[in-house]
Structure 1
Amino acid sequence: MMKTLLLALLLLLPRIFYAQSAAPEGLALTGARIYTAPGKPPVENGIVITRGGKITAAGTSGQIKIPAGMKVLNCKGLVLMAGFWNSHVHFMEPAWFNAATQPAATLTRQMQRMLTGYGFTHAFDLACLDFPNLLALKARVQSGEVKGPAILTAGVPFAPPNGSPFYIRPLKLREIGVPEEAATYAARQLADGADGIKLWSASPDGHGIVPMPLEIVKAAAGAAHRLHKPVFAHPTADTGLSIAIAGGVDVLAHVSPDGYRSWTPEEITLIQQHHMAVIPTLKLYKWELERNGVTDMNNPLMTTALQQLGALAKAGGEILFGTDVGYVTDYSTTEEFLFLSQAGLNFDQILAALTTAPAKRFGKEASSGRIVKGMDADIVLLKADPHTDIRHFSEVAYTIRNGEIIYDYRKDR
């Protein structure tokens, strides 16, 4: 009898040893300088503990005890902050075609090139032309099969009558000129899985600026707001800005420099009174100018964009970081950070645009944007401190989503 029990125990030992030596749940990040939120002083030699996709502890090495057996990532010399939001992207390039059937590894590598390699743990797609394809990509990321940022989408946007933007030719957007049609279209997009809607409040058709009738904007915005969803607008110029404000738009997808007119103090006040946020996308204008052979950045398109953002930032307006990548084919974020700084934004304003401001604007404030206990374990680790040089915001060492490392500079770039 005793020999039988001993034999049974010996047979179980390999299984017991295997279970104990398996990769432990959770991750401890040690030794980093931690910026817990904009406006807060950094925590030196900090520790962040994640478990089950959440931050379970954050503080100094003297405050936090690392659980036995937990995986530890030595972050000495790195700078830790909440994962970044890119509030203006597009998954429209050929690399995203057939998202339902492409190999997961292929899509993950493209995510690293475009987004996670720059610290983004959330991305808001502001215009797609193949909505089922984008929803398939979003589902594969949600399942964990594809390693990427959480994706939100504004679905397929629409333009004013005869107002499809010239730069997408030969393609055309849906053009809507009847309020009831706009409301129905917006509601259907949201029912199909969109997280917001996008429209052109004024569109460049190649000959001039085509404004969207105000009643169309109001109808679409009303349909979205009844479902508590945000409305984005491409304003193009001052005409589009005025229509967006009057129509109830929540977020400008760009500043509006095409008219080469600075925003007035009265317009800044209206933007703030209507609780409107702005995504600057300043690098977009440099990119477009260079594509057209213009290398002088004293061009009025660029100087107007910088003035408009600078006036809003000085007044304390709400700014969301976004790059328009997917339309812009240069994924690097360095120039966007430099332009934000040139427009007058300081470190805390830029950090807020990357973290707390979009989290609050898009209803994720309770789970995203700060490094505190209970928040989602969405984290970026930078190679150097952007407080000393704003370009360091683009120098990412690790991107962590739900406690899992989805970008590692040592092997993924």
Structure 2
Amino acid sequence: MRNLLTVLFIAFYLPLSAQTPAANQGLALIGAKIYLGPSAPPLATGAVLIEHGEITAVGDVKAIKVPRGMKVIDCKGMVIMAGFWNCHVHFIEPKWEHADSLPASQLSNQLKDMVNSRGFTHVFDLAAFDLANLLALRARIESGEVEGPAILTAGVPFAPPDGSPFYIKPLKLHEIGTAAEASAYVSKQIQSGADAIKLWSASPNGERVVPMPLEVIKAAVNTAHKLGKLVFAHPTSDTGVNIAIESGVDILAHVAPDDRKLWNTATINNLLQHKVALIPTLKLFKWELERNGFPTANSSLINTGLQQVGAYAKAGGEILFGTDVGYVADYTTTDEFEFMSKAGMSFEQILTSLTTAPAKRFGMADKTGRILAGMDADIVVLTADPKENSKFFSNVAYTISKGKIIFSSKNAAGN
């Protein structure tokens, strides 16, 4: 009997006792240059302590005492920032289907490839064709079964009558032509779990750009706002921008270069007055041109987008980082950072678009977006300083979401 108890003790108790400290031991990031926030002076050689998913201490490495038993990662020569947001992603590729039953390892690897390895600890999905499937993916991440970022979603979007965009064929969006239908549709989306609403304020159907009727988009925006949700609009053109502004849309999901109209002072001031945020997605236009066999050098489409972003950023407009990844099949982020820099955005402005601006816009500024004690441990560790070159924002060594390492590069310390 004694031998049996000994076997049971070794088989069951010891593995549990060995796992418990490991699960709760915390994490220390030591020796990195730390950007506490976009405008705060960095710590030249700092340390960050993490326990139970939160940052418990930040400071000069000489002033921080690492608790005994805490896992330590040597970050000497690296750069620490708050985890990044990608405010325009999609989970519409076939590989995301059946998210409720796909192996957790498969989903984790897919997320690592698309978002985790890019430093994203939060993403905003801006078009789900199967909202229940996306919510199943989110639930598996939140449970800890799948490794991935926090996901917000704008649910299933809609377009004006005869306005399904040509580039999603053979798929077709829900098309809405009355205020009553718009209000009912928005309410149903939010009741189904959407965190925001996405619509096309003007949409290219392949023959023309179809504007959303003003009374329809106003009804959608008013209903969403009454329910405490934001509205994203795909503007396409100057007309779509003006409709979005007049209707009270909160965020433009793209710049609007299709009609090659530069944004003048009146447009910029109108956007500023209505506090509209802008997601550039500049890489999208290069990708579309390349895959359709058009030259990108000195492209009027790209140059118009650069002017619009640059003018709005220079005027103090709110910029939110986003790449349209998931629709754009190239997951890399370097092009987007280089385009933002080319548009005239500074290091501080780009970092703001990745961290504090989305955290504030989406009501999470008290928990994420900065490296401060008491904040969620949403952290990215880079191998080089993007203040020297914006492309270094894409040099990710570690991505940490609420204290959990969801990506570590092969060349990172300890790998």
TM-score by length of 1: 0.95
Give ranges in structure 2 of 5+ residues lacking alignment.
1-5
Contact kept? 2:277, 2:319, Cα under 8 Å: yes
Partner Cα separation in structure 1 for residue 135 and residue 173 of structure 2? 19
Listed as ranges, the matches of 1:149-168 within 5 Å are 149-168=149-168
Q: CA deviation at 1:362?
A: 0.5
Contact kept? 1:201, 1:211, Cα under 8 Å: yes
Counterpart for residue 355 of structure 2: 355
Counterpart for residue 87 of structure 2: 87
Contact kept? 1:183, 1:219, Cα under 8 Å: yes
Q: CA deviation at 1:296?
A: 3.1
Question: Which one is further off, 210-219 or 55-64?
Answer: 55-64
Q: CA deviation at 1:19?
A: 3.8
Question: Which one is further off, 38-47 or 117-126?
Answer: 38-47
Partner Cα separation in structure 2 for residue 378 and residue 147 of structure 1? 13
1:257 aligns to what SS in structure 2?
Answer: coil
TM-score by length of 2: 0.94
Partner Cα separation in structure 2 for residue 296 and residue 280 of structure 1? 17
Counterpart for residue 5 of structure 1: none
Counterpart for residue 371 of structure 1: 371
Q: Does 1:226 align with 2:226?
A: yes
Counterpart for residue 191 of structure 1: 191
Partner Cα separation in structure 2 for residue 237 and residue 347 of structure 1? 28
Alignment-mate amino acid for residue 126 of structure 1: L
Partner Cα separation in structure 1 for residue 300 and residue 155 of structure 2? 32
Listed as ranges, the matches of 1:12-411 within 5 Å are 19=17, 22-23=21-22, 24-410=24-410
Partner Cα separation in structure 2 for residue 254 and residue 197 of structure 1? 15
2:47 aligns to what SS in structure 1?
Answer: strand
Q: CA deviation at 1:25?
A: 2.5
Alignment-mate amino acid for residue 244 of structure 1: A
CA pair 326-16 structure 1, distance change in 2 beyond 3 A: closer
Alignment-mate amino acid for residue 357 of structure 2: A
Alignment-mate amino acid for residue 368 of structure 1: T
Contact kept? 2:92, 2:326, Cα under 8 Å: yes
Counterpart for residue 3 of structure 2: none
Partner Cα separation in structure 2 for residue 387 and residue 171 of structure 1? 42
Contact kept? 2:397, 2:411, Cα under 8 Å: no
Alignment-mate amino acid for residue 396 of structure 1: V
Partner Cα separation in structure 2 for residue 149 and residue 401 of structure 1? 6
1:193 aligns to what SS in structure 2?
Answer: coil
2:233 aligns to what SS in structure 1?
Answer: strand
1:81 aligns to what SS in structure 2?
Answer: strand
Partner Cα separation in structure 1 for residue 180 and residue 63 of structure 2? 59
Alignment-mate amino acid for residue 133 of structure 2: N
Q: Deviations over 1:45-71 (max 9, x none)?
A: 111011111111111112211111111
Alignment-mate amino acid for residue 103 of structure 1: P
Q: Deviations over 1:345-369 (max 9, x none)?
A: 0100000000000000001111010
Alignment-mate amino acid for residue 119 of structure 1: G
Contact kept? 1:397, 1:408, Cα under 8 Å: yes
Partner Cα separation in structure 2 for residue 79 and residue 175 of structure 1? 46
Alignment-mate amino acid for residue 223 of structure 1: T
Partner Cα separation in structure 2 for residue 401 and residue 36 of structure 1? 16
Q: CA deviation at 1:319?
A: 0.1
Alignment-mate amino acid for residue 84 of structure 1: F
Q: CA deviation at 1:148?
A: 0.3
Partner Cα separation in structure 1 for residue 248 and residue 141 of structure 2? 32
Question: Which one is further off, 121-130 or 14-23?
Answer: 14-23
Contact kept? 2:234, 2:253, Cα under 8 Å: yes
Partner Cα separation in structure 1 for residue 16 and residue 94 of structure 2? 44
1:400 aligns to what SS in structure 2?
Answer: strand
Contact kept? 1:36, 1:370, Cα under 8 Å: yes
CA pair 78-411 structure 1, distance change in 2 beyond 3 A: closer
Contact kept? 2:25, 2:69, Cα under 8 Å: no
Contact kept? 1:286, 1:297, Cα under 8 Å: no
CA pair 20-93 structure 1, distance change in 2 beyond 3 A: closer
Partner Cα separation in structure 2 for residue 109 and residue 16 of structure 1? 31
Identity %: 59
2:258 aligns to what SS in structure 1?
Answer: helix
Q: CA deviation at 1:42?
A: 1.1
Contact kept? 1:91, 1:125, Cα under 8 Å: yes
Partner Cα separation in structure 2 for residue 160 and residue 288 of structure 1? 23
1:295 aligns to what SS in structure 2?
Answer: coil
Q: Deviations over 1:94-146 (max 9, x none)?
A: 12111000000000001011001000000000001111111111111111111
Contact kept? 1:297, 1:303, Cα under 8 Å: no
Q: CA deviation at 1:40?
A: 1.4
1:132 aligns to what SS in structure 2?
Answer: helix
Partner Cα separation in structure 1 for residue 172 and residue 13 of structure 2? 61
Q: CA deviation at 1:179?
A: 0.2
Partner Cα separation in structure 2 for residue 384 and residue 411 of structure 1? 13
